[in-house]
Structure 1
Amino acid sequence: MIREASAEDLDKILAIWLATNLEAHEFVEASYWQNQLLQVAQAMDTAEVYVAEDFGFIQGFIGLQGSYIAGLFVAQEFQGQGVGTQLLTFAKEKQSPLTLSIFEKNKKAIAFYEKQGFRVEKREIDAATGEEQFWMTSEAAH
């Protein structure tokens, strides 16, 4: 089930956010992600956040700021089970086309988004990490 996130979900959402970033971005210092936690918690107030929940367990979440995907994260134990696809499909029904930024070295996520109809629009260097990132856009919904 996908539902709007509540204040009670924040700790679990932040735990998924941190664990997933640490796992997916070993090329970025762990302290970078740990130092972003407070900012991410505050950003939850300015984004539309939806969680995928099953039997009371939050499996993942997506944060939208208009048509920008501020984050799509699935807990490691639920990856590869369609949770990310469900969240993305939900977001596409709300807003289309969608855009996002992603590190070039995050090959697994890039493959996921390409499978979902996203394409790279431009490349740039992320000022905070010095890493190359892609800006990707989805196809417009029909």
Structure 2
Amino acid sequence: MFEIRTSTGQDTARVMDIWRRAVDATHDFLAPHDRAAIEDELSIFLPQVHLSLAVDHTDNPLGFMFLHEGHLEALFIDPDHHGRGMGTALIRAALADHPDLTTDVNEQNPKALGFYERIGFERTGRSPCDGQGRPYPLIHLRYRPPAWRQIIP
């Protein structure tokens, strides 16, 4: 069981640990210097924003998401808890306020791309570099509910 809550400053260390563990498990395509630079950027950025956290019964964060103006900027789940519905639950929470939710996923991360496509995201484009100009292509996605949900209120 898990609940979703908003982050506080006390969650920063655990959020960074989740990010490190998730990236180590899923982003083997990152060059070591790029991974280090991204971690440095996030260690400054993440404490300044409100995140949605999936927490266990002891209030320990197991995953997090960051939304900005209807765009899912980040979704990371501790790899020990992959496949337990946390990512889907966080996405559902985001869709409640942003039914046209968009996100980007690294092209070299086929498991993440598969996850988003399974839950209803469609490809809308591709960029040859990430948002910081690094050589990691992004697939742009937008949520599209199944056709039967579009006709049933």
TM-score using structure 1 length: 0.90
Once the two structures are TM-superposed, the CA of residue 46 in structure 1 deviates from its matched residue by: 5.8
Counterpart check, 1:51 vs 2:42: no
Q: Which residue is 2:69 aligned to?
A: 66
Q: 1:66 to 1:41 in 2, by over 3 A?
A: farther
Counterpart check, 1:130 vs 2:147: no
Q: Aligned ranges for residues 44-123 of structure 1 at < 5 Å? A: 44=46, 47-56=49-58, 57-123=60-126
The runs of 4+ residues in structure 1 deviating greater than 6 Å are: none
Higher-Rg member (1/2) = 2
Q: Which residue is 2:40 aligned to?
A: 38
**Contact residue 121 and residue 135 of structure 1 kept, 8 A:** yes
Q: 1:116 to 1:47 in 2, by over 3 A?
A: farther
Q: 1:54 is matched by which residue type in structure 2?
A: D
Structure 1: gaps spanning 5 or more residues:
none
**Contact residue 47 and residue 64 of structure 1 kept, 8 A:** no
- What is the aligned-residue identity percentage? 23
**Contact residue 22 and residue 33 of structure 1 kept, 8 A:** no
Aligned-residue CA RMSD (Å): 1.8
Find the aligned partners of 1:4 and 1:11 in 2 and give their Cα distance: 15
Once the two structures are TM-superposed, the CA of residue 47 in structure 1 deviates from its matched residue by: 4.2
Q: Secondary structure at the match of 2:39?
A: helix
User: Relative to total residues, which structure has the larger strand share, 1 or 2?
Assistant: 1
Once the two structures are TM-superposed, the CA of residue 101 in structure 1 deviates from its matched residue by: 1.1
Q: 2:112 is matched by which residue type in structure 1?
A: A
TM-score using structure 2 length: 0.84
Structure 2: gaps spanning 5 or more residues:
none
